[in-house]
Structure formats: structure tokens, C-alpha cells
Structure 1
Amino acid sequence: MLIDRYNSQLLMVDVQERLAPAIADIAGVEAQIAILLRTAREMAVPVIISEQYRKGLGGTLPSLAGLMPGVQPIEKMEFSCFANADLQAALSGNPGNATILCGIEAHVCVLQTALEMRAAGRLVFVVADAVGSRRPESRSVALDRMRMAGIDVVTTEMVLFEWLRSAAAPEFKPVSQLIR
């Protein structure tokens, strides 16, 4: 199944100031998330941002928060976004929507969110190059586990080109420039 931009939402999980420096290849993960956020803004795809225990882990990385000035992060204590009442309400606003997941950590909050959403019958796509963990093997095992649970694992470029569908899309030029 292709990802339809008109029935999608992007969830950025816990990319926070005190957690991000511990993540393997955080620069690469951050760059891919930035591309997803810019494309979502360009294509009017709704974005939801979660923050895990803001007091302890700080806010969303300023470089990413600045790309979505009107989006207020939703704080949580639960590892799964879908276990938090406010986030679950935000994520369930349009029941037919596919949720595109990016963020950290792949083997904790991203994994638990994806598994719970999938168990609830939701369409979930995890962006492999836009998720990270402190240890690369934790990320790898998490992606394998999600695949085995029926969650689609995709790349940033897959999401972009499925949202676009055609080089004739008015957003094609600005979006394609993001990946050059």
C-alpha cells in the first residue's frame, strides 16, 4: 500500500535536547527528520510532536522545533505515545489516517508507539533512516521486531515520493530540492 498524503499524519517522537546527543548518528537522523518536517509543512500533512518528561530531557531540538512553529509538543511520561491520553486523542483525530513515525529511541518509545497503534488497527509506517537509538543494534532489532509485527518500515525518500505521487505535483520541485 502506498502512503497517501491526504490520509497521513507525521509523529515525531521525543527528539529532545538532553537525549539526542546520546543517539548514534544523531546528525543523520536529525537531517532526515528535518526533511520530513519540511515536506509535511509544504504538503499540509499534519504533524504531532511528543516530548518525554520535558523537565528531565529538555525540549525538542531547536533546529527541528523551528521547522514547525505552530505545533505545540505534547508531553508524556509513558513510553508509548499511544498510551498517553492527549497523544492518543491527537493521533486518533482521523481514524483512517496512516501515521508516519520518526524520532528516538527506536527500541523504546518509537517501538512501543508503533506496536500499540498497530494492535489498535492503525496503519503505521516507521521511517528507518529517521529513527535512532543509543546503540545501533538496538535500532536494528527494533526495526526487525516492527516488521515482524506487520508495521511497514520505509525510508524518508519513500515517504516523500509516495506523498508526491507525480513529478507533476506542484510541490515536486521544492520537495525534490530537499534531498539533493
Structure 2
Amino acid sequence: MRMKASASIVLAVDLQSRLLPVIDGGDAVLGHAVWMVELARSLGVPVLATEQYPQGLGPTVPALRARLGDAPVLEKIHFSALADDSWRQQPETARPQWIVIGTEAHVCVQQTVFDLLAAGREVFIVEEAVGSRTPRDKALALERMRQHGAEIVSREMVAFEWLERADDPRFREVLKRFIR
């Protein structure tokens, strides 16, 4: 199945100041996550972010928070972002396709993905924009999520599928700004 901008929402899971420094390749994960959020905002795709126990793990990292604009940032205590119903209060969450980025792949991302799949959503995990403390945990989580029906994609897959056509008026801007 192809991703459509008009059907998608980006979910940024727990990219927080005290967690990101211990993530394997955390700076790269953050860079790819920022790229995804900027792309989504430039194409009118809504973004939702979560913070896991911010009193302990800190707020969303400033580099990402600055790009979220007015996107909702939901605090959570459960590992899954869907464990309580606060996410349902956001009208954009009715969209059927969820593009998931964030940390940790084997904990909050994975449990959220399983709940999204159980709720009947199509789920796409941007491989380079998720991370865990160890590469092994990330790899196992990606494989397990794939086995349960999530699709593992790259950020460029998302960009080109959202654009759909080379004659889209936004195509050149996206190429110049994001694909380079």
C-alpha cells in the first residue's frame, strides 16, 4: 500500500532531552526525525508528538520542539501512546495512515505501533528516524513490528509517495529542500 499525504499523520514518539543522548546514533535519529517533521509540515501533513514521563526524561529536544509549531505534544506515563484516550481528542488522529518516528524502538514505539495496528491503522515506521539504546533492540523491534503488519520505510519513500507526481508544484521545492 502507498502512503498518501492526505491520509497520513506523523507521530513523533518520545524524542526527549534525557533519553536521546543514550540512544545508539541518537544525533542521526534526531536529524532524520526533524527532517520528517519539516517535510510533513511543508506538505500539510499533521504531526503529533508524545513525551514519556517528562519529569524524568525531560522535554522534547529543542531542535524538534522548535519545528513542531502548534502540533500537540501529549504527556504520557504508559509506554504506548494509545494507552489512554487523550490522543483521540486530536481530530487528525482519525487519519488511517500513521508514519511513526522516535524512541525507543523496542519499547514505546513498538507498543504504540501494536496498538495502532489493533485499532485498524496502517502503520509505517521510518527506519532511520527510530532508535534504541542498542542496535540489537532496534533491529529486533523492527522485525517484530514488520511481522505484525507494520511497514518499514525510508524517509525518501515517504516523501516521494506523499508527492505522488513529478509535476506536483511542490516537487521542486521538496527536492531542493529535502532530497538534495
Same fold (TM over 0.5): yes
Equivalent residue of 1:66, what SS? helix
- Cα distance in 2 between the residues matched to 1:176 and 1:11: 23
Q: Give 2:4's aligned residue.
A: 4
Find the counterpart in structure 1 of residue 148 from structure 2: 149
CA distance in 1, matches of 2:120, 2:78: 20
Counterpart contact for 2:3–2:97, Cα < 8 Å: yes
The number of equivalent residue pairs is: 179
Amino acid at match of 2:36: L
TM-score between the two structures when normalised by the length of structure 1: 0.95
RMSD: 1.4
C-alpha distance in 2 between matches for 1:40 and 1:49: 13
**Alpha-carbon deviation of 1:69?**
1.7
1:49 lines up with 2:49 in the alignment: yes
Corresponding position of 1:102: 101
Q: Which sections of structure 1, spanning at least 5 residues, go unmatched? A: none
- Structure 2 letter corresponding to 1:26: G
22 and 59 in structure 1: CA distance in 2 versus 1, 3 angstrom threshold: same
**What is the letter of the counterpart of residue 64 of structure 1?**
L
TM-score (norm 2): 0.95
In 2: Cα distance, 1:67 partner to 1:170 partner:
23
SS in structure 2 at match of 1:83: coil
Counterparts in 2 of 1:113 and 1:92: CA distance versus 1, 3 Å: farther
**What's the offset of the Cα at 1:88?**
4.0
Q: Does 1:122 align with 2:121?
A: yes
Distance of 2:115 and 2:71 partners within structure 1: 24
Describe the superposition over 1:57-86 as per-residue Cα deviations: whole angstroms up to 9, x where unpaired.
111110011112212311000000111221
Offset at 1:174?
A: 2.3
Partner of 1:131: 130
How far apart in 2 are the matches of 1:132 and 1:12?
12
Summarize the Cα distance change of 1:88–1:165 in structure 2 as closer, same or farther, 3 Å threshold: same
Distance 2:175 2:35 in 1: 10
C-alpha distance in 2 between matches for 1:148 and 1:139: 14
Counterpart contact for 2:9–2:97, Cα < 8 Å:
yes
TM-fit CA distance, 1:90: 3.0
- Equivalent in the alignment of 1:78: 78
Distance, in Å, in 2 between the alignment partners of 1:161 and 1:120 is 26
Question: Could you tell me how far 1:132 is from its partner in structure 2?
Answer: 0.2
Q: Give the percent of matched residue pairs that are identical in Structure 1 and Structure 2.
A: 41
8 Å Cα contact 1:23-1:132 kept in structure 2 = yes
